[in-house]
Structure 1
Amino acid sequence: MPASAYRWFAYVGCRTTRERNARGKGLSVYGVPASGPWALVQQVTGLVNPSFLCLAFSGAALYTVHGDHSHVSSFSIDPRSGMVEQTGEQDAGGKNPVHLVLSRSQRWLLVANYATGNVVSLPVRPDGSLGQMASSLSLPGAHGPHSQQKGSHPHQICMDSMGRWLYVPDKGLDKVFSLSLHEGSGELKLAGTLEFPSGTGPRHMAMHPSLPRAYVVGELDRTVSACRVNPATGELDLLDTVSTVPAGADSGSAAGIVIASAGRSLHVSNRGHDSVASFRVDGDTGTLTDPTWASTGGATPRFISCMPDDDLLLAANEDTDSLTAAALNATRHEALKFQPLLQTESPVCVIFRKAQP
């Protein structure tokens, strides 16, 4: 199928190493037509655990962490074919980078290093490649009681809608940190801290698109918490917490989070329970209500994401080598039904770029 037939290009990151019991081969690029199956366009092999990806706003560059290692890589993207070409790699300033995001100005790539408990900024050069680390901020506090809480373990960097504040859920310290970034120098500074109950394990979070609300996934206690956001100070206040699994579910951990349908629904993936919990979001208060659960049709849904049209929710089932998809109803809250979409080895992340005609 010619590249002009695709509506989107999908970039799928995976696990590749024996230590992760992984079968992935590298970074995969798929052409996504308006209807019909995805087509494999390119597979970049030789990459170790390209397990989280992000795109430049322009769509001209892609960045990936290398999980369990200590570097990140940059790629240029051909606007017609969607194919990528590596433009370099750079030291991540810590060990086991698990998440990255570009600053609002696109001048800085921000990286969360899980094993060393720090967040760093790397300058983005004009060609999209990366310079050496400009700033590193270690996150302070006492670790939680769980066996997976040996110290600070930042798991994500979430930006507010204006790009003014950065929020870092720290699984090891049971905290979400608010940070500021100096767009001139790349310096990171601590602006505030929200502490969660011991053993929560904050993993990922999402910002509501129109309300001053943020939602934080507790990986270890399988919860999602609604928080009030102060746009002026960046501070968060905990409002309410609900379970991401039904009563009686006694194993597993929560993972990914997505807000869909213009803020009317929220979805959280549960590994072990192998489900997605879906909530109605109150349009005035942001309160989460009416939970439903749906099997993802696979094992270990580490990551979920929406198609760019906001009409499908995708689950990356890491341990059964599959992507599955469920239709989203923009006007009615109802249980999801996941269907097979694609077989791909050890998938853990999916992002999209619009195809050029």
Structure 2
Amino acid sequence: MTSSAVGRESGAGRAFIGSFTSSGGRGITAAAVERETGALTVLGSTDAVPDPSYLVLGQGPGPGGRALYAVSETEHGATAAFDITGDVPQPIGELRPVEGSAPTHLALTGGHLLTANYGSGSVTAVAVREDGSLGPVTSVLRHEGSGPDTDRQRGPHAHQVLPDPSGNWVLSVDLGTDSVRICTLDTATGALRLHGETALPPGSGPRHLAFHPAGGHAYVLNELEPTVTVCRWDATTGVLEPTGGTAVLPGGPSADAEPATYPSEVVVSHDGRFLWTANRGHDSISVLALEAAGGRAVLVTTVDCGGHWPRDLALDPTGRWLYAANERSGDVTWFAVDPATGIPRRAGSLQAPAASCVIFA
């Protein structure tokens, strides 16, 4: 059976895997997803963009078309658009410089593509044209500040940018300043404006956040201290309020713990009952139960991630399968999620050198 036939089989979805070409990755890999088993089968790949470490899907050319967008996590920083009609993603237009260094994350909202630029500590807005291609940079919002960790927090390091569930606000998570900024995006002009900033525990190094499906809570995963900070989110006023936190590893956070652990990604179940984190160094996936309508997170257990250095976690659209992109072992491993306990059970693996993220169509 050809890869095209696999991709068209009934019951198969599609996934896209980002990777670091500078470390031997294939760039962007398209894969078929068998919904009943979670299995991935490679359809094709492209290395048209260097280091496409994070991906997002959006509207593309043609009626009902989809487009794929990627950051280029390089010193000068760029983003690119791809047509995903066929098995191999095809570039739409040219690389668009983001006027920032080392973009690590991106999101689509209000007709614009937003990038979080780790190296320069900024967020960039880029216009998205009707054909799915990228237009000019419309705004660059530069973060300011630092943190107590002299190795990692000498200046701002924007690590994630995403819209809130209401679509009225943009949040950017900054590892260097121990804070989350809340912004507005003028969809007509593409201008980003700072609305407020929420301080998090000093030295925690917030990396990513995820919202509860009900929209009233957010969970900030900290990289420099292996914890999750639970926050109340008010979409009416655009206020993020920390209410507590919990360790993602047994025994709690410790600067002397071995091996050193750097959590990377946080995912919330579709029903809002569970939360998972990927933990690099510890090479595990933590399972937390969400209680009190999402206002409290309790560590249940950890399981092996199936490889080394899990940089990303992703839940498939059915909520049945959890995928870990294990960067240093070069694989994407998938797990069947127990619907009663939230505990993942390893079900298979696909070789994917320098894997950095997984998303689903």
Q: TM-score range by the shorter chain?
A: over 0.9
The whole-number CA distance in structure 1 between the counterparts of 2:122 and 2:233 is: 23
Give the SS at the match of 2:271: helix
Give the SS at the match of 1:337: strand
Greater fraction of residues in strand: 2
Letter in 2 for 1:287: R
- Look up the match of 1:92: 98
- Look up the match of 1:65: 71
Name structure 1 gaps, 5 residues minimum.
none
Give the SS at the match of 2:293: coil
Instruction: Say whether 1:8 aligns with 2:13.
Output: yes
CA contact under 8 A between 1:98 and 1:156: conserved in structure 2? yes
Map 1:251-290 to 2 at 5 A: 251-290=260-299
Letter in 1 for 2:285: V
CA contact under 8 A between 1:213 and 1:226: conserved in structure 2? yes
1:135-155 Cα distance to aligned partner (Å, 9 max, x none): 111112233324111210000
CA contact under 8 A between 1:322 and 1:344: conserved in structure 2? yes
**Quick check: 7-16 or 68-77, which moved more?**
68-77
1:72-112 Cα distance to aligned partner (Å, 9 max, x none): 1111121xx44321012101111101111000x3x100111
- Look up the match of 1:28: 29
- Identical aligned pairs, as a percentage? 32
CA contact under 8 A between 2:198 and 2:241: conserved in structure 1? yes
The list of structure 1 runs, each at least 4 consecutive aligned residues, that deviate by more than 4 angstroms after superposition, is none
Letter in 2 for 1:52: Y
The whole-number CA distance in structure 2 between the counterparts of 1:108 and 1:290 is: 37
- Displacement of 1:35 after TM fit? 4.2
Instruction: Say whether 1:300 aligns with 2:315.
Output: no
- Displacement of 1:131 after TM fit? 1.0
Q: For the structure 1 residues 334 and 213, does the alpha-carbon distance in structure 2 shift closer, same or farther, using more than 3 Å as the test? A: closer
Map 1:176-191 to 2 at 5 A: 176-191=180-195
- Look up the match of 1:38: 40
Letter in 1 for 2:104: V
Matched positions, count: 344
Instruction: Say whether 1:77 aligns with 2:46.
Output: no
- Displacement of 1:297 after TM fit? 1.6
- Look up the match of 2:214: 210
**Quick check: 43-52 or 264-273, which moved more?**
43-52
The whole-number CA distance in structure 1 between the counterparts of 2:171 and 2:148 is: 19
Q: For the structure 1 residues 211 and 38, does the alpha-carbon distance in structure 2 shift closer, same or farther, using more than 3 Å as the test? A: closer
The whole-number CA distance in structure 2 between the counterparts of 1:98 and 1:222 is: 20
Q: For the structure 1 residues 301 and 285, does the alpha-carbon distance in structure 2 shift closer, same or farther, using more than 3 Å as the test? A: closer
- Look up the match of 1:201: 205
- Look up the match of 2:358: 350
Name structure 2 gaps, 5 residues minimum.
none
RMSD in angstroms over aligned alpha carbons?
1.6
Q: For the structure 1 residues 25 and 290, does the alpha-carbon distance in structure 2 shift closer, same or farther, using more than 3 Å as the test? A: closer
CA contact under 8 A between 1:297 and 1:339: conserved in structure 2? no
- Displacement of 1:283 after TM fit? 4.7
Letter in 2 for 1:326: F
- Displacement of 1:33 after TM fit? 2.7
CA contact under 8 A between 1:108 and 1:121: conserved in structure 2? yes
1:168-210 Cα distance to aligned partner (Å, 9 max, x none): 1100001111111111111101111111121100000001111
Give the TM-score normalised by structure 2: 0.91
Instruction: Say whether 1:224 aligns with 2:228.
Output: yes
Letter in 1 for 2:56: C
The whole-number CA distance in structure 2 between the counterparts of 1:329 and 1:197 is: 33
Give the TM-score normalised by structure 1: 0.92
The whole-number CA distance in structure 2 between the counterparts of 1:346 and 1:298 is: 12
1:251-307 Cα distance to aligned partner (Å, 9 max, x none): 121110100141110001100000011111115252112421001121000100001
Q: For the structure 1 residues 65 and 221, does the alpha-carbon distance in structure 2 shift closer, same or farther, using more than 3 Å as the test? A: same
1:324 alignment partner, one of 333, 336, 354: 333
CA contact under 8 A between 1:12 and 1:29: conserved in structure 2? yes
CA contact under 8 A between 1:293 and 1:336: conserved in structure 2? no
**Quick check: 30-39 or 199-208, which moved more?**
30-39
Instruction: Say whether 1:119 aligns with 2:123.
Output: yes
- Look up the match of 1:53: 55
The whole-number CA distance in structure 2 between the counterparts of 1:290 and 1:153 is: 28
1:168 alignment partner, one of 168, 172, 178: 172
The whole-number CA distance in structure 2 between the counterparts of 1:256 and 1:285 is: 18
The whole-number CA distance in structure 2 between the counterparts of 1:220 and 1:162 is: 30
Give the SS at the match of 1:41: strand
Q: For the structure 1 residues 235 and 303, does the alpha-carbon distance in structure 2 shift closer, same or farther, using more than 3 Å as the test? A: same
The whole-number CA distance in structure 2 between the counterparts of 1:243 and 1:290 is: 7
The whole-number CA distance in structure 2 between the counterparts of 1:335 and 1:134 is: 43
- Look up the match of 1:149: 153
- Displacement of 1:233 after TM fit? 1.5
Q: For the structure 1 residues 239 and 85, does the alpha-carbon distance in structure 2 shift closer, same or farther, using more than 3 Å as the test? A: same
2:133 alignment partner, one of 111, 129, 136: 129
